[in-house]
Amino acid sequence: MTQHTTATRGLSVRSVSKHFGAVDVLQDVSLDIAEGEFVAVVGPSGSGKSTLLNAIAGFVTPDRGELLVNGEPVRGPGPSRCVVFQEYAIFPWLTVRRNIDFGTRLRAWKGSRQERARVTERYLDMMGLTEFADALPKTLSGGMRQRVAIARAYAVDPEILLMDEPFAALDAQTREQMQEALVDINQRERRTVLFVTHQVEEAIFLADRVVVMSARPATVQEIVDVPWGDRRTHEIKTEPEFVRLRRHIETLLRSRR
């Protein structure tokens, strides 16, 4: 278990609590994510993972506690945070290229039209979308649509990227391909990422640290360091240390159901 001190740049969640009616969902949740760090959150179903992500996004206001992005309090949704959802939240009436171009328009640094176009082409290429650039989302598979959503989120260049089960609707093989695509883009364009997932294996594969939440009301049970750095290929999933971490986290999740 690792205790991290307050991050000045990055995300700081300080003693956040939230209830909906009679249901206590989050209880005194504290977590710091340093700039450029990829953190996954796992926890039992209904424990409050999405509520935590929505509070960071500014969609949900905590009852107590504080959320800081680069030291600035979160007071509602804003361009410093960008969310990728499970459903394909891209514009169905825009082509793939124009969806990503929409992201580049939201950047703090906008640049000229030509510069923006270059950025858009770079993200199309990085997510393997160049040949689909003029297609409409409805003609694409679920995996390809999530590639568009991720490319657009990176194109926005927010301070924090929030991903809420982005691969949950995909079949197992597509999911593995998407995990690789995400590892690839994030190694090239390192961002601060909070990634909510049900899959312990996915969490360990993607993240620098895995936050294990308890059952509701959710608190942070343990934060597990993941040792692979940038060495993320699917082969690591069979390494003894990977298997050990997976078992450890699964045991934690079972213990507080």
Ligand X SMILES: Nc1ncnc2c1ncn2[C@@H]1O[C@H](COP(=O)(O)OP(=O)(O)OP(=O)(O)O)[C@@H](O)[C@H]1O
Residues that bind ligand X (CB under 6 A): 20, 23, 25, 43, 45-51, 198
CB of 91 to ligand X, least distance (A): 25
Q: What is the dihedral of CA 81, 82, 85, 90, to 10 degrees?
A: 160
CB of 50 to ligand X, least distance (A): 3
CB of 120 to ligand X, least distance (A): 32
H-only helix segments in the chain: 49-57, 96-105, 113-126, 142-156, 172-188, 200-206, 240-255
Q: Of 59 and 102, which has the nearer Cβ to ligand X?
A: 59
Rounded to whole angstroms, what are the CA distances from 237 to 168, 205, 243? 19, 7, 7
Instruction: Please report the DSSP string for 63-118 in residue order.
Output: SEEEEEETTEEP-S--TTEEEE-SS--S-TTS-HHHHHHHHHHT-SS---HHHHHH
Residue with tokens 């699917």: 234
User: Tokens standing for 94?
Assistant: 């825009």
As a three-state string, the secondary structure of 60-73 is CCCCEEEEEECCEE
Q: Of 23 and 243, which has the nearer Cβ to ligand X?
A: 23
CB of 218 to ligand X, least distance (A): 7
CB of 253 to ligand X, least distance (A): 11
Q: Of 5 and 45, which has the nearer Cβ to ligand X?
A: 45
Residue type, 208: D
Q: Of 85 and 102, which has the nearer Cβ to ligand X?
A: 85
Query: What distance in Å separates the CA atoms of residue 60 and residue 35, rounded to the nearest whole number?
Result: 23
Q: Is 206 left (phi over 0), alpha (psi -120 to 50) or beta?
A: alpha
Q: Of 151 and 163, which has the nearer Cβ to ligand X?
A: 163
Q: Of 127 and 210, which has the nearer Cβ to ligand X?
A: 210
Q: Of 81 and 232, which has the nearer Cβ to ligand X?
A: 81
CB of 226 to ligand X, least distance (A): 21
Burial pattern 41-52, b for ≥16 Cβ within 10 A else e, equals bbbbeebbbbbb
CB of 152 to ligand X, least distance (A): 23
